[in-house]
Structure 1
């Protein structure tokens, strides 16, 4: 009897190990697949931008394109992104990190890309996506982008480093392009809060300020919750960007990197 129980225990352990190994392997493969896909897109965009820059040296400057979803009016390379997925609204990059990928948005299904890749296929890694009510092109006073805090270092995992001012001192700039305009943002506050119902700071719900006081109150709260003082205080009329990911020292925590547009 003891021998049978021992054998069953061993078999169960082997099965459990096999299932765990499969899940870990699948997680890593999914991460690599998405990483390779974004690298390929980034390469195509970079090549198109380089070719456009070279061409501009020998041709007269053209009129700036209007804010439009017309692929012909998009910045070099971003037409490729839009053709792959018409939910694409921009591209985000932080130099010196793994973050370099597309930003998507679905106004009628706010969290669709929480667990979907750029091809709209189910994915635990999800995608970087903009809050549904924010207007990326206008833009709204505040645009919040969401992304998973992945253990493989992808998506918004790099944001964790910014809880230390050392990371901010080394690089505090975020490149966030729309499909029609290049923009750079500077980090002014990094904070954590709870996403539990009735708790915490609902930063993503601030989209357009009703007045100057509302804008100032939002900025003040960001700075009050911040891990450290950056010495930067946005003023009414500035455009803000919040990057949001999971934070694990709080119950249902969120880590937020708030930045102000400088170009």
Structure 2
């Protein structure tokens, strides 16, 4: 009995040591990723260059000058996308949700950034990335994927949109691209499966839509939506959908669907 108890005690001690090492590693990785994101934000943040009198230097244009967004009111770009693209050509924009922790560059290169950081190094955190089928110029729906991390980082905050009050408090999503800065309002929040079979309707298969397919999308969102946001989608609306994992179903996803204002 004593020998058995001693063996069990050793196993428990070893197990505790392994668990402690794992926890330390996870915390370290979280800190490292957080530091990387902070540095990216600092690098990309635009700031005006002024002279001693507070005006722009001769010949200098404001880096925060409003950039036209088609028929919409002009909105300022808050991030230096040219600099980001110079550092990494896969960077196609920046997405942020005011009042949340979502504030990241957006990449596009298949699913490479599912497990890689801005420098191309392996990372469990990855970076938000645009669906490879989407075109910033022509797609009716832009779909951006991001991880749901246990430390609450990346796109984890999207899970809060399961609560209507949270949506009411955080209705706007901002997308900055070389085309300009665009504002989107959350129109629907749904839980979806991450995979779908041939002929099976899926939100994630609605990139370029006809009148009929757009009508089907609206019907499905109305049926599957977690609550009524008060916004009605009409054909011609451009959609931006942010997606992360959720665990109420196998291979589940939570999708926040927003319409361009």
- What range describes the TM-score normalised by the shorter chain of this pair? 0.7 to 0.9
CA contact (8 A) 2:196 2:202 kept: no
In the other structure, the counterpart of 1:116 is: 116
Q: 1:60 to 1:88 in 2, by over 3 A?
A: closer
In the other structure, the counterpart of 1:79 is: 82
In the other structure, the counterpart of 2:133 is: 133
Q: CA deviation at 1:76?
A: 5.6
Q: CA deviation at 1:196?
A: 4.3
3-state SS in 1 of match to 2:244: strand
Structure 2 alignment gaps of length 5 or more: 69-76
Matches within 5 A, 1:97-246: 97-106=100-109, 110-136=110-136, 138-198=137-197, 201-209=201-209, 211-246=210-245
Alignment TM-score, normalising by the size of structure 2: 0.84
Q: CA deviation at 1:124?
A: 1.6
Out of 93, 96, 100, the position equivalent to 1:93 is: 96
Q: 1:148 to 1:86 in 2, by over 3 A?
A: same
Runs of 4+ in structure 1 deviating by more than 3 angstroms, as ranges, are 49-65, 196-201
| Count of residues paired in the alignment | 248
CA contact (8 A) 1:89 1:105 kept: yes
Q: Can you list the C-alpha shifts for 1:192-212, whole angstroms capped at 9, x where unaligned?
A: 022244397521221111x22
Q: 1:251 to 1:60 in 2, by over 3 A?
A: closer
Q: CA deviation at 1:117?
A: 1.6
Question: Is 1:259 matched with 2:258?
Answer: yes
Q: CA deviation at 1:84?
A: 2.7
Q: CA deviation at 1:235?
A: 1.7
Cα distance in 1 between the residues matched to 2:95 and 2:23? 28
Task: Give the superposed CA RMSD.
Answer: 2.9
Alignment TM-score, normalising by the size of structure 1: 0.83
Q: Identify which range, 16-25 or 170-179, moves more after superposition.
A: 16-25
Q: CA deviation at 1:91?
A: 0.7
